[in-house]
Structure 1
């Protein structure tokens, strides 16, 4: 019994998501439609990415890149700014999830000599940068891809909607780095073990499969099969390193949101409050359900795709669950030697709530 309690206490995010999903099952009893709730593409792709990132770490790639980064920039402010800018722009093409999967582990290695406060703050900034930068392209995040397709948006109209918020976000983030991170020298890189080039080649190939899946070129089931088979045959030590609780957290959220959408009273309430308040309502709903499920849930109640696009992207700020990419980043942060969960959540929430309010006010008064 004590082992079970420790299991659930170890990951409160998973425990809360599971508890909410179970409670929702009493309102909407399990039925065949439950299978339609869970986005297996997201879970399968995330599994593949976690395998690949673990492989990069084990073959020494992150330590090698850390040495290269510190060779180019040896001060905390410069390195922090570099990572924030890279997360912002890479997320536009690689998606916010993939960008954070790549850069957060690298950040933990590069900043390992820094204080827990600085590490938590920089990862918070990176996470926010990836979420905000990803809004500029239809493929930057899942809600953009869905809304772009659902409302049959034209590329020019899409960019006109999100570009002003994206530009303002960039300057706010750069300002945060300059105001909050001092130019303190970082410790020189430790002598790293040589790269395991054969292992690296394997995981680079698997990463290519992941990217093809993210870009909708390859079905996720193909990537899952390839990754599983390759690791079972060539690098099976990676499989126990996958964060299976995070995958369970995603599944629980999908069930919760699916059940909420199946409750008539919830649908009636959303229909009554949406008209004329699409952006604010979608941003608020995202705080509880995360912005991808919110975009799917709310698109059935409005024809104003522009407001919903802004609301779900800005609504990715705020709580840790407002964007599932933020949850991924948090789980990666917890793997660091100097992880302080309470400190991180406090810094992350303060930064995100502040930017959420500022960007909502900007969009409401300037764009709508």
Structure 2
């Protein structure tokens, strides 16, 4: 992924051609989403994501955790037509916006199987062109044919059943009709032949258009983003995101896993990892004890963090991106810093007869050899001799 300024990111494949989506609205069109792609898309800083198509079966599908992370970051996520309709039906209570009839079918239990939206399609080189027809499209056409009095109830049910009996990779209109036509009357077959060329609709395409339009309208509206509920993903999800994410820098998009590999070889890797572990453990202990950091305390840590880096306000978003962070991620780390400070400041009260600040300073200076050096300097000062750094023993 390359850095873009579009406010809308769309995951699209066989449901709608990319060029048509771009004509609907300015957007970054990405291939059907697979596991990790929504996490990676967050580095583009979109205002909205339209999830239409996604992979399944051959590759891991987009995780619910990724969508929840986007919502928590204040990115509006819309879903419809295909994988997007599935995820929207599952995550609507958490703030994902479902669009279109297929979403409504899943939400209301009219259809329940993921295979309803499955189809065989060409690869990226051939524009993800659909090669088979999804079952939801057959259902839609059957309903339209009934409404037009082309098919009766039994004939429409037989059409859907014939399609359902075919594996999704073999389901084409000629094969569906080959199975169902013998059971239709001659008048039904004639009515169907006259109606089908103009009467049939691609429901997935219609829902994909509606999804992109809804997301584009929201992105262009300037409506302030509402942050989703804070998530507490498991360590497995956190590690997976760490490896699947990307970091946007001036030279392009760098896989976060590659950055981590380089950091492991750094001379101070152990020191950095231990400092991070210490902070996380102390913050976790604080939460266990019922301690919470106030907004003012977190604000103070965040302000101190920016001051220490000397980054001008206008460059802060780019700096965060290069750090592999966003405002939510930085806020979370600053909360840990605030909780760590709370634990350290109240250490004598957190344990029976707990350590004082002076005891901690003394023990650490002794471990580092600083106590002996400082003691010699104090002795020279008391005797009137010149003081200075004479090294440690």
Q: Which TM-score band (shorter chain)? A: under 0.3
Structure 1 or 2: more strand by fraction: 2
With a CA cutoff of 8 Å and minimum separation of 6, indicate the structure with the bigger relative contact order: 1
TM score, norm. by length of structure 1: 0.21
Q: Which entry has the higher C-alpha Rg, 1 or 2?
A: 2
More helix by share: 1
